[in-house]
C-alpha cells in the first residue's frame, strides 16, 4: 500500500470529462486524484488507458458510491473483492464510503440518510467492520447531505461519533455537506464540526452547492465553492488540523485553470493554519 498523503495535500476528482485536461495538467497542479472505483472497475479502451496513466503518475484516493453501508440488503461481497483488487492494483492511499444507504431490494440510485438511533449505529458499524475485514484496511466514512430527516433519537454529531467509535473507522469530513445540512435543518455548522473527533478525520471534501432559497441549499457539486463553505473549511482546519482535502466537481466543469484556482485557495487555507 502506498504511503499516506501528506496533511497539506490538495486534490481533484478524477472524472471522465476531465481526463484529457488532467493528463495535460502541469506538474504540481494537484497533489492527488480521487475517483469512485464503482465507475472504473472493468473499464477499458481509451478511457481505461488514460485512467491507468493518471493513476500511475499521481497518488490515488477512492470514494465509493454503492456499498450501501447502512442498507438492509446483504453486503455485496463479490463487489467488495473487486474493489479490493482495484485498490491494490492502483496502490490507493485512502478508501472511503458514505454513511448512508443506496439499496433496499435493489439499487435506489441515491444516497439516503440513516435514522440516528442506537439500532442504526450497531447495524452500520457491524457492516463497516465487515468491509474493513474484507478489504484488509481501515476505511473512512463520509457525513452525507440529506433533506428529509428520518427518526432522530440523537443529534447527528452524536450518531457520527458513535458509528466511528463502534466501527473502528475514520471520518471523511465533507464540509459542504455540514453547511448544507446546517442551513436546511437549523443547526450550528461550527458547533457540529467542533463536536467531531479530530483524531478520526482522515481527509476533507469541499464542494459547491445550489442556493434554492435562504433556508434551502442543494448539494450539487456543480458550482464553485461558496465563501461560507471556505470559511467553514478554515474553521475545521483550526479546530481539528489540516488534512488532505479534495475539491469535488461532478458536472458543469469550468476550464481546468478555474478548478486549479479553487485548489489554490485550499492550499492557501492549509498554509495559513499550518
Q: Rounded CA gap, 6 and 135, in Å?
A: 23
Rg (CA), the chain: 18
Q: What percent of the chain has pLDDT over 90?
A: 88
| pLDDT exceeds 80 at position 132 | yes
pLDDT band at 17 (very low <50, low <70, confident <90, very high): very high
* Residue entry with cell 431490494: 105
Q: Rounded CA gap, 81 and 68, in Å?
A: 15
pLDDT tens digits for 33-79? Answer: 999 999 999 999 999 999 999 999 999 999 999 999 999 999 999 99
DSSP reduced 3-state for 49: helix
Max Cα-Cα span within the chain: 50
Which three cell numbers mark 76? 455485496
Q: Rounded CA gap, 273 and 135, in Å?
A: 34
Residues 6+ apart with CB under 8 A from 54: 14, 19, 22, 23, 33, 60
pLDDT tens digits for 157-210? Answer: 999 999 999 999 999 999 999 999 999 999 999 999 999 999 999 999 999 999
Q: Cβ distance 30 to 260 under 8 Å? A: yes
Q: Cβ distance 217 to 211 under 8 Å? A: yes
Q: What per-residue confidence (pLDDT) applies to 102?
A: 78
pLDDT tens digits for 90-120? Answer: 999 999 999 998 767 777 567 889 999 999 9
Q: Rounded CA gap, 45 and 131, in Å?
A: 30
Q: What per-residue confidence (pLDDT) applies to 109?
A: 65
Q: What is the mean pLDDT of the chain?
A: 94
Q: Cβ distance 59 to 33 under 8 Å? A: yes
Q: Cβ distance 91 to 2 under 8 Å? A: yes
Question: Which stretches of the chain are assigned E, i.e. beta strand?
Answer: 10-13, 32-35, 60-63, 94-98, 101-103, 107-112, 140-142, 170-174, 201-207, 209-213, 216-219, 245-248
pLDDT band at 264 (very low <50, low <70, confident <90, very high): very high
pLDDT tens digits for 78-87? Answer: 999 999 999 9
Domain boundaries, the chain: 10-273
Pairing of the two strands 101-103 and 107-112: antiparallel
Of the candidates 5, 2, 21, the residue with the CA atom closest to the CA atom of residue 13: 21
CATH T-level topology, domain 10-273: TIM Barrel (3.20.20)
| pLDDT exceeds 80 at position 255 | yes
Which three cell numbers mark 156? 447527528
Of the candidates 23, 17, 32, the residue with the CA atom closest to the CA atom of residue 253: 17
Q: What per-residue confidence (pLDDT) applies to 1?
A: 52
Amino acid at each position: 500500500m502506498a504511503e499516506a498523503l501528506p496533511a497539506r495535500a490538495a486534490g481533484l476528482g478524477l472524472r471522465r470529462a476531465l481526463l484529457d485536461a488532467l493528463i495535460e495538467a502541469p506538474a504540481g497542479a494537484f497533489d492527488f486524484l480521487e475517483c469512485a472505483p464503482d465507475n472504473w472497475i472493468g473499464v477499458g479502451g481509451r478511457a481505461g488507458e488514460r485512467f491507468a496513466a493518471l493513476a500511475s503518475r499521481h497518488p490515488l484516493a477512492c470514494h465509493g458510491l454503492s456499498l450501501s453501508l447502512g442498507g438492509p440488503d446483504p453486503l455485496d461481497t463479490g463487489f467488495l473483492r473487486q474493489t479490493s483488487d482495484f485498490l491494490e492494483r492502483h496502490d490507493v492511499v485512502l478508501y472511503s464510503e458514505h454513511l448512508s444507504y443506496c439499496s433496499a431490494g435493489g439499487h435506489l440510485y441515491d444516497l439516503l440518510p440513516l435514522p440516528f438511533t442506537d439500532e442504526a449505529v450497531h447495524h452500520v458499524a457491524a457492516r463497516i467492520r465487515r468491509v474493513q475485514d474484507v478489504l484488509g484496511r481501515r476505511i473512512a466514512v463520509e457525513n452525507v447531505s440529506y433533506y428529509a430527516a428520518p427518526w432522530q433519537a440523537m443529534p447527528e454529531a452524536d450518531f457520527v461519533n458513535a458509528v466511528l467509535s463502534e466501527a473502528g473507522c475514520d471520518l471523511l469530513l465533507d464540509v459542504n455537506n455540514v453547511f448544507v445540512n446546517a442551513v436546511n435543518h437549523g443547526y450550528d455548522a461550527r458547533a457540529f464540526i467542533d463536536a467531531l473527533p479530530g483524531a478520526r478525520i482522515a481527509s476533507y471534501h469541499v464542494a459547491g452547492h445550489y442556493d434554492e432559497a435562504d433556508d434551502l441549499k442543494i448539494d450539487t457539486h456543480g458550482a464553485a465553492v461558496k465563501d461560507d463553505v471556505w470559511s467553514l473549511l478554515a474553521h475545521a482546519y483550526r479546530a481539528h488540523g489540516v488534512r488532505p482535502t479534495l475539491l469535488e466537481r461532478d458536472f458543469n466543469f469550468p476550464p481546468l485553470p478555474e478548478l486549479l484556482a479553487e485548489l489554490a485557495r485550499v492550499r492557501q487555507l492549509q498554509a495559513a493554519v499550518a
